[in-house]
A and B are shown apart, each in its own frame.
Chain A
Amino acid sequence: MVKVLVEISKPVLYYLVRRIIIYVVQVFVILTVIFFLFRLMPGDPLTLYFLMMQQRYGYVISGTSEIIAKYKEIFGLDKDLFTQYVCYMRELILHGNLGVSFLSFPDPAQKLILEALPWTIGLLGISTIISWVIGLIAGTLIGWYREKKTSTFLFTLSLYMSQAPYYYFAILLVLFFGYFLGVLPTGYAFSPGITPSLNIAFLWDLIVHGFLPSLSIIVISACGWIISTRSLVILILGEDYLAFAEAKGLKKRRILNRYVLRNILLPQSTGLGMSLGFIFSGSFLVEWIFRYPGIGSLFIKAINSLDYNTAFGIVIISSIAVLTANLIIDLIYPFIDPRVTYTSS
């Protein structure tokens, strides 16, 4: 531990500390911006909720406006904006309390979100990493062996599939594997009737149920990585040091591993951080189609039943998650890339 601290030089340390301070400021600013964006929106969540309940369940209560006023007083929505902001921030930062959810009434919103979060992290984490690895390897090979017919065919296929939204592919997979062939389950995280415990049967059930959602994310993301990696490899192929290595007489495989791959890993690692936010928003509908009990289904359920607090809490949590992921990648970056200098700019 002491050795690690001694090896970190001063500029790197300053960079890390500055980066963490920027992160805290960013989180705070994002929370404020989202809060004011939604509070200044026209349309009142409570009134809409009452109207929706009246329409859906068919009875009209007299004195609705008094009920709404009373609830506004309970939730603190009738004070002026700045007091609301201070109260919300205090609840959020000190107690971690996101407010009461309309969806399941006495439960606070953060209880619902914390129950759903591990499922999403598992699904997205595994899918992102697998698609990154597959995309990187396939993209390098496709860029390196550019003349072969398989490369051109795979590249054109990736071109068409990379921009498709995840849920289109998910619908196709559900149709094909779930209905026509009937081999894979079409929904939920594990079969009804199995008690969750750490045995092989339950884990296998989890894998079987999570296979289709993660497959739809993996295939489409991998196509995107293939395209960007291939462009990078083509760019690197023009560099002088590769020509020099070949002139020295190195074997092609060694050039590929030592020179090309290392130079690809750096930009693609930062790209991984940036793509996390994108995959997050794309996977919500995939979770909804497969009824996978993650944050995506929770968000859409909250939207459909007009549960303002839960939806708002999910927006906040996904912003913080994206910021945190970028922070982690920025923190690891000095240890990966020795070339970067950290002067204050």
Chain B
Amino acid sequence: MSKIIKIGATIKKYLRYNYKLKIGFALIVTLVFLALIETPINYVRFGESDPLRTGAFGRYLPPSIEHPLGTDLVGRDMLSMILEGLKNSLLLGVEVGTISMIIGTVVAIISGYKGGLYDTILRTLTDSILVLPSWLIFVILTLYMRLESIHSFSLILAIFNWPWVARTIRAQTLAIKKLPYIDLAKMSGLRDLEIIFGEILPNLLPYVIVGFANALMGAILAESGVRMIGLGPSTLITLGLIIYWSMNWGVLSLKMYHIIVPPILLLVTIFASLNLLNIGLEEQFNPRIKKITGL
């Protein structure tokens, strides 16, 4: 319990002066909150019936009190579609981010800390996956494997994403290994694992979070890219799918801006907030930049 309070106090201390971090953090928290309240809001508005089944309401209804964002071509309520899309996109991003963060950090720490043969093998593996054109392979896999569930998507995206995380963290591990207190810890007889968890990992934490945010953005981008071609399961509603559908229905010539503007706005907000978080974290924790910007 006291650890949670300590973490909260640390976050608050870092957030107080750094505006970029504050705004980025606030935006991300708002988006996650919106995604989490989707089921209660649906229950409150519609009771037990599913607002996402085809033909639930009339077609192309204009925005009103009952449907704040109107309905679409086949009669689904747009607000619940957009909230469901936000939830699925964020869920996909979080899964990809977590898996690639764990795999990437483990590989990078082993490769950076142990060095030698482990380093050579793991670095060759990382570089080889980095070179592959991952989006193309992802498109072909989606086409031929007929992926249905969100977990298979996240697994494949994470396989292509972890080398990016591993690359940054390995560079950081090498830099931290040269610091004097690592030698001090070795001389005082700490075992390898204790050094990794006690000394190296806390210094890596900002970079791990940056890696997580980048993996999230990359996953959402790759998935919307695949949607734009028309591939992917149509039972899994994500923001990219809503944008593809609205472009296909020609909503811009129908002047139905309430259908296409919210998902694009949400996507841009996700990207902007994660970018702000990344830049804010780097300004806060990179000591040379911190000296210049004076935070």
Contact = CB atoms under 8 A, between A and B. Distances in A.
Contact of B137 (A42, A162, A315, A322): A315
Q: Classify the interface of chain A: helix, strand, loop or mixed.
A: helix
B272 interface: yes
Contacts of B141: 41
A324 B62 CA distance: 54
A50 B138 CA distance: 23
Contacts, number: 102
A227 B136 CA distance: 27
12 contacts: A33-B128, A163-B274, A164-B268, A164-B271, A165-B221, A167-B228, A234-B289, A238-B292, A281-B136, A284-B135, A303-B139, A326-B131
A304 B139 CA distance: 11
Interface string A32-74: 0110011001110100100000000000000000000000000
B268 to A, nearest CB: 7
A30 B145 contact: no
Nearest to A318: B133
Interface in B109-147: 128, 131-137, 139-141, 143-146
A45 B131 contact: no
Nearest to B276: A159
Nearest to B222: A281
A288 interface: yes
Query: Which of B225, B231, B264, B267 has the most chain A CB within a 10 Å cutoff?
Result: B225
A227 B275 CA distance: 11
Nearest to A172: B264
Given A41-B141, A231-B289, A160 B275 contact: yes
B100 interface: no
B229 A319 contact: no
Interface residues of B, number: 40
Given A231-B282, A234-B292, A322-B133, A163 B140 contact: no
A255 to B, nearest CB: 16
A162 B136 contact: no
Interface string A133-163: 0000000000000000000000000011011
Given A303-B143, A306-B143, A319-B131, A34 B137 contact: yes
Interface core residue of A165, A284, A285, A319 (most chain B CB under 10 Å): A165
Interface residues of A, number: 48
A237 interface: yes
B131 A322 contact: yes
Nearest to B291: A238
A299 B140 CA distance: 10
Q: Which 10 A-B pairs have the closest CB atoms?
A: A281-B135, A43-B144, A163-B271, A318-B133, A160-B272, A315-B136, A238-B288, A159-B275, A234-B292, A165-B221
A168 interface: yes
B217 interface: yes
Contacts of A332: none
Nearest to B264: A168
Contact of A30 (B131, B139, B274, B276): B131
Given A163-B271, A237-B292, A299 B136 contact: yes
A159 B145 contact: no
B55 interface: no
B165 to A, nearest CB: 15
Nearest to A175: B252
Contacts of A312: 140
Contact of B225 (A26, A280, A285, A318): A285
Contact of A37 (B137, B143, B275): B137
Contacts of B231: 303
